[in-house]
Amino acid sequence: MLDFLGNLERTHMCGDLRAANAGERVVLMGWVNRRRDHGNLIFLDVRDRSGIAQVVLDKELTPEGHLKGEQVRPEYVIAAVGKLRLRGPDAINPKMPTGEVELEATELRVLNDTKLAPFSPSEEAIQNEEVRLKHRYIDLRRIEMQRNFLLRHEITRAIRESLSDQGFLEIETPILCKSTPEGARDFLVPSRVHPGEFYALPQSPQIFKQILMISGFDRYFQIARCFRDEDQRADRQLEFTQVDLEMSFPRREHVFGVVERFCAAAWASAGVSLPTPFPRITYDEAIRQYGSDKPDLRLPGLTDVRSAFPEPAFETLQIDSALPIVALRIPGVGELSRKEREDNHPLFDHKKGAKFIDDFKRLAKSFPDTVTRIRELSGTAASDYLIVVAGDPAHHIKASDTKFEGRLSEREINVYSAAGNFRSELAKKYADRHKAFQVTDELVRNAEPRSGKMLDGSNAFHPIWIIDFPMFEYDLATANWVPAHHPFTAPHEADMANLVSDPASVRANCYDLAMNGLELGSGSIRIHRKDVQQVIFQSLGISDEEAHKRFGFFLDALEYGTPPHGGIALGLDRIVMLLAGAANLREVITFPKTAKAIDLMADAPTTVTEQQLRELHIRVMTKS
């Protein structure tokens, strides 16, 4: 028989009980995390979102409560009433924050029972993620998950406060709207009222926030849900949350300042200090130094070791002399056998037209000085795992094909990024040996949101601004310049004159924020003049007609006194993931989709009724 709650009121949260509360009358409510039956004494670990406390049911003191205690099982919902007491010296549990005390119950109410769940929230690690997602309500009860969402709340609140304090207004924009320009596939919503017509879910509030600047709001932000129909990855979901902002009359430095302040506030809310200002690097330098536009600075970058190779080496080693030659090293890996090295070869992406050298004994036979020089240049220690990456002359596109004065060619970028990708794959694989990631893991494990305690995050988190991306990319297949960013991104004012005459040289006034190998966000100073917008559309091969069809309302708005403006959007889920020390976005999103884009709990997507389809003027064609 279950009990009613009646007029019982909770006095404390389980996790808050301390020695100082001893002697107080305490009413706890929560779930039975564990139950231990010692005959006349039954111990219940009771859990609520704040933590776990021990309740003792003594047959002498409460025969009725003890009897109920015999019947309760893990995950029953109970209320325990009694007096808090200090545990005896032998019974103190230093691993639990509440381990010095226990509730000596005088009454137990069983508020609800439970079906036997497929797993218990008290289990340390639950192996099967599908089961977790299907029964997400139970999974979310786990202490780690509760902690992740407390953290998420604190971070969101800190960002809201910081932006509000910086003069930003939180303004909502539509979810049912028109295709936006981020370039991913749209989710479409059929209109019942307008047969054959569709709304698109926003890939971001981009156009609306720009219009809010035209409307004079000056500083806007939104914790905005965005929808992109893309393949799922560990750091990508179909719907995700951005900290989206836009401001009028800014230089890029103003945007950086705003973001650095709210990031510092977010990190502080998690109990971690984050030094500002963040360093900056140009896109070209990021590619040269890390082979990536979202570099992880926790490990050494790439070194240019071209000067170590004498002329005859190119022929002998079959290396393209027109392309970069770089060394990468992973510290602390120690000597690897030939077999161990070969096991790593599949981690190298051969499609990028690059090759690598990892057998330095062999190289030393023909070019001993080269090996010495590579080690010197790259500062390689004896225990470092060293690899040289170079261009493969056998690749079908020659180095000169896409070379434009003053910028990296596609092939150069490919060689650098082959090295950069290899570097990050090996860094993951040998994390136990170089231990660079452990610094971050340990810090987030020890950090305590809300405690007022601040851990120094400067060695654990490495934010970096990537600036001066090229405005256009050359598309070999169509021999055309195509946009590298969404089409409202402004070029640098100094490069404006070259838009048509020399597109290769034009730098976009856009920026990315990367941290620990993750892209946290991107933004730009926007085009605010109709004439420039037209040139950009032209150079992107977007006709007037097409531009009007897609963004007509926005182009119209641009003609009505648009102030210079710019902004950025940061991935909130990714920020929380970093500070929670989670390996996957799903750990910080309440009800995420699987890699196959399914919500296992709600069972979405599903078919709908004929009637619904008819109303929406939709006929479904399935492959028979």
Shortest reach from residue 244's CB to ligand ASP, in Å: 6
What the block records as the tokens of 366 is 């023909």
Strands 272-273 and 455-456: parallel
**Whose Cβ is closer to ligand ASP: residue 204's or residue 241's?**
204
Amino acid, single-letter form, for residue 101: V
Q: Is 328 helix (H, G, I), strand (E, B) or coil?
A: strand
Our finding on whether 44 is near ligand ASP (CB under 6 A) is no
Our finding on whether 179 is near ligand ASP (CB under 6 A) is no
**Whose Cβ is closer to ligand ASP: residue 470's or residue 567's?**
567
Our finding on whether 513 is near ligand ASP (CB under 6 A) is no
Our finding on whether 62 is near ligand ASP (CB under 6 A) is no
β-partners of residue 466 are 281, 512
Candidate residues 15, 74, 291, 523; the one interacting with ligand ASP per rule CB under 6 A: 523
Amino acid, single-letter form, for residue 352: K
Stretch that binds ligand ASP, among 57-65, 493-501, 522-530, 573-581 (CB under 6 A): 522-530
Cα-based angle 59, 60, 66 (whole degrees, multiple of 5): 20
How far apart are alpha carbons 332 and 347 in whole angstroms? Answer: 19
Shortest reach from residue 424's CB to ligand ASP, in Å: 22
**DSSP character for 460?**
T
**Whose Cβ is closer to ligand ASP: residue 225's or residue 435's?**
225
Our finding on whether 402 is near ligand ASP (CB under 6 A) is no
**Whose Cβ is closer to ligand ASP: residue 213's or residue 582's?**
213
Our finding on whether 291 is near ligand ASP (CB under 6 A) is no
Stretch that binds ligand ASP, among 170-178, 464-472, 518-526, 573-581 (CB under 6 A): 518-526
**Whose Cβ is closer to ligand ASP: residue 65's or residue 567's?**
567
Beta strands in 263-340 (DSSP E): 272-273, 280-282, 303-304, 325-330
**Whose Cβ is closer to ligand ASP: residue 224's or residue 327's?**
224
Q: Indicate the residue whose CB is closest to ligand ASP.
A: 204
**Whose Cβ is closer to ligand ASP: residue 40's or residue 215's?**
215
Cα dist from 242 to 260, 337, 374, whole Å:
16, 46, 43
Our finding on whether 522 is near ligand ASP (CB under 6 A) is yes
Q: Using an 8 Å Cβ cutoff, are 56 and 73 in contact?
A: no
Q: Using an 8 Å Cβ cutoff, are 571 and 521 in contact?
A: yes
What the block records as the tokens of 424 is 């990050």
**Whose Cβ is closer to ligand ASP: residue 385's or residue 551's?**
551
The DSSP code sequence of 548-599 is HHHHHHHHHHHTTTPPPEEEEEEEHHHHHHHHHT-SSGGGSSSS---TTS-B
**Whose Cβ is closer to ligand ASP: residue 75's or residue 468's?**
468
User: What b/e readout covers 297-310, taking b as 16+ CB neighbours within 10 angstroms?
Assistant: bbbbbbbebeebbe
Our finding on whether 516 is near ligand ASP (CB under 6 A) is no
Stretch that binds ligand ASP, among 42-50, 66-74, 496-504, 517-525 (CB under 6 A): 517-525
Our finding on whether 248 is near ligand ASP (CB under 6 A) is no
β-partners of residue 45 are 34, 54
**Whose Cβ is closer to ligand ASP: residue 299's or residue 569's?**
569
Shortest reach from residue 452's CB to ligand ASP, in Å: 33
Tokens 């939709």 correspond to what residue?
Answer: 618
What the block records as the tokens of 153 is 């709340």
How far apart are alpha carbons 488 and 500 in whole angstroms? Answer: 17
How far apart are alpha carbons 177 and 199 in whole angstroms? Answer: 5
Our finding on whether 483 is near ligand ASP (CB under 6 A) is no
Positions 536 through 595 that interact with ligand ASP (CB under 6 A): 567-569
Candidate residues 98, 417, 524, 562; the one interacting with ligand ASP per rule CB under 6 A: 524
Site mask for ligand ASP (CB under 6 A), range 181-200, x = bound: -x------------------
Size of the site for ligand ASP (CB under 6 A): 9
How far apart are alpha carbons 569 and 188 in whole angstroms? Answer: 23
**Whose Cβ is closer to ligand ASP: residue 156's or residue 522's?**
522
How far apart are alpha carbons 485 and 539 in whole angstroms? Answer: 13
Our finding on whether 54 is near ligand ASP (CB under 6 A) is no
Sequence-distant (≥ 6) Cβ neighbours of residue 18 within 8 angstroms: 97, 98, 100, 101
Our finding on whether 222 is near ligand ASP (CB under 6 A) is no
Our finding on whether 239 is near ligand ASP (CB under 6 A) is no
**Whose Cβ is closer to ligand ASP: residue 239's or residue 304's?**
239
**Whose Cβ is closer to ligand ASP: residue 424's or residue 524's?**
524
Q: Using an 8 Å Cβ cutoff, are 358 and 437 in contact?
A: no
Our finding on whether 409 is near ligand ASP (CB under 6 A) is no
Could you tell me the end-to-end alpha-carbon distance of the chain, in angstroms, rounded to an integer?
A: 53
Closest by CA position to 489, among listed 569, 419, 369: 569
Stretch that binds ligand ASP, among 210-218, 421-429, 435-443, 519-527 (CB under 6 A): 519-527
Phi, psi dihedrals of residue 200, rounded to the nearest 5°: -115, 145
Amino acid, single-letter form, for residue 273: S
Shortest reach from residue 215's CB to ligand ASP, in Å: 17
Phi, psi dihedrals of residue 196, rounded to the nearest 5°: 80, 0
How far apart are alpha carbons 62 and 480 in whole angstroms? Answer: 83
Q: Is 119 helix (H, G, I), strand (E, B) or coil?
A: coil
Phi, psi dihedrals of residue 151, rounded to the nearest 5°: -60, -45
**Whose Cβ is closer to ligand ASP: residue 199's or residue 221's?**
221
Candidate residues 62, 179, 206, 222; the one interacting with ligand ASP per rule CB under 6 A: 206
Sequence-distant (≥ 6) Cβ neighbours of residue 259 within 8 angstroms: 513, 521, 568, 570
Q: Beta-carbon neighbour count of residue 250 at 10 Å? A: 21
**Whose Cβ is closer to ligand ASP: residue 527's or residue 579's?**
527
CA quadruple 522, 525, 528, 530: dihedral sign: negative
Our finding on whether 415 is near ligand ASP (CB under 6 A) is no
Our finding on whether 255 is near ligand ASP (CB under 6 A) is no
Shortest reach from residue 488's CB to ligand ASP, in Å: 8
Shortest reach from residue 233's CB to ligand ASP, in Å: 16
Shortest reach from residue 572's CB to ligand ASP, in Å: 12
Shortest reach from residue 474's CB to ligand ASP, in Å: 22
Q: Using an 8 Å Cβ cutoff, are 65 and 106 in contact?
A: yes
Our finding on whether 204 is near ligand ASP (CB under 6 A) is yes
Shortest reach from residue 621's CB to ligand ASP, in Å: 33
- Binding positions for ligand ASP, rule: CB under 6 A: 182, 204, 206, 522-524, 567-569
